[in-house]
Amino acid sequence: MDRFVINGGARLKGKIRIDGAKNAALPIMAAALLSDGPNVIHGVPDLADVRFMGEVLGDVGARVTRDPNGDLHLSVDDEADSHAKYDRVRKMRASVCVLGPLLAKRKRARVSLPGGCQIGPRPIDLHLRGLKALGAEIELDGGDIIATCKKLRGAHIFLGGPFGSTVLGTANVMMAATLAEGRTVIESAACEPEVEDLADYLNAMGARISGAGTPRLTIDGVDKLRGAEHHVIPDRIEAGTFLVAAAITNGELTLQNCRLEHLMAVVDRLQNIGVQIDQEGGDVVVSSSRRLEPTDVTTQPFPGFPTDLQAQLMTLLCLADGNSVITEKIYPDRFMHVAELMRMGANIRREGPTAVVTGVKRLIGAPVMASDLRASAALVLAGLVARGATVIQRVYHIDRGYEAIEAKLASVGADITRVSD
């Protein structure tokens, strides 16, 4: 099992290119099941989650290959098996995205329930509600969702939930609706850039989707979809992580392939803390003052502050001059990183879905354990600035969402090494 060894204190300086968005690539890969021809997806990072999704698609008859340029080629060779099994789906929650495409294209899907995870339960009741509204019959058998239909028909569907809109639920229902008869309107649709990117890909395949990026999606069903070529948007969460990396090390980074319009809530909070962020041509340049101001932040659906950057921002606020308050409105239990940061000297008090962070003068290197993808990134950031050595165990979590993060950080001055047992 791999671990990272980080000797903190280095000031980061240089250029980093942001990869394509994992959270856009995974549903786009699933959408290829809807097509009648070959698909080429550019800019997909080589991540554990991408490989897992390729395995899930392989089980249901798709062929997924990566060429020497790094582009993914996807085509469907066999539509006989529509069962996404537990051994695959349990590795990655986004596997549930095959449910909508399989149902729409093959009229039958059997997909294992993905279950919970380290950041708390994330039920898929909204996915199933939307598919039922389109005419699917849903039953549970042995931990699997079995969805069948004779024909899907357009419907007016509300997909809001107790914690806001559902990104994967919107993706699933939107993909199913592309081949439904008539018009589907999704109210309280997720507005995230990754949903908009999926809609762009589906439209390139011949779908008729409008309103992507707004709370109301309109889908006019078509008879079939063709293969298409598409370039995945940059990963706003990776970009946000490196924005914090520059700030926490008092460094200066130039981020290439970065879209600030996808990060405005993050930019707002970072500037409030004292981080300088400038657009220079197609690049983003980030630096910070030595004194960091405290701030308050609440995670929200897009365009609000993303839950996937909550842990990273908390790490930065551990060094701010005062008290900060972070409220988690998307996944109230998403605080697995708190105990590990406290092992490094952070002063954090959790009160339900809120964490009060009192800034300290310094963090101290320590052995810590990664618990989930974004918590892992937070611990890497802490290690970059901590005095002494930090050893992070179970870094397979971070490999799910960041391609060779240690190499990127080392290229701009970090003292970080991957060690294999």
Reference 166, options 242, 102, 94; nearest CA is: 94
φ, ψ dihedrals at 60, nearest 5°: -105, 25
Q: Which residues are catalytic?
A: 117
Q: What is the DSSP string of 197-213?
A: HHHHHHHHTT-EEE-TT
Tokens of 223: 């008879």
For tokens 């389109």, name the residue. Answer: 134
82 beta partners: none
Helices (H) and strands (E) in the chain, counts: 14, 24
The distance in angstroms from the start CA to the end CA of the chain is 6
Packing angle of the helix pair 167-177, 193-204 (nearest 10 deg): 20
β-pairing, 347-351 vs 323-327, is unpaired
What is the amino acid identity at position 407?
A: A
d(CA 94, CA 26) in angstroms, rounded, equals: 7
For residue 172, the 8-state DSSP code is H
Length of the chain: 421
Provide the b/e sequence for 268-287 (b: ≥16 CB within 10 Å): ebbeebbbebeeeeeebbbb
81 Rama sector, left if φ>0, alpha if ψ -120 to 50, beta otherwise: beta
Q: What span, in angstroms and rounded, lies between the C-alpha atoms of 323 and 359?
A: 6
The CA-atom distances, in angstroms, between 165 and each of 76, 96, 321 are 31, 17, 35
340: closest CA among 394, 400, 419? 394
Residue 4's nearest CA partner among 367, 316, 308, 413 is 367
* CA 111 to each of CA 49, 98, 114, 129, 192: distance values in angstroms, whole numbers, following the listed order: 17, 8, 9, 16, 25
List b or e across 68-85, with b for residues whose CB sees 16 or more CB atoms inside 10 angstroms: eeeebebbbeeeeebbbb
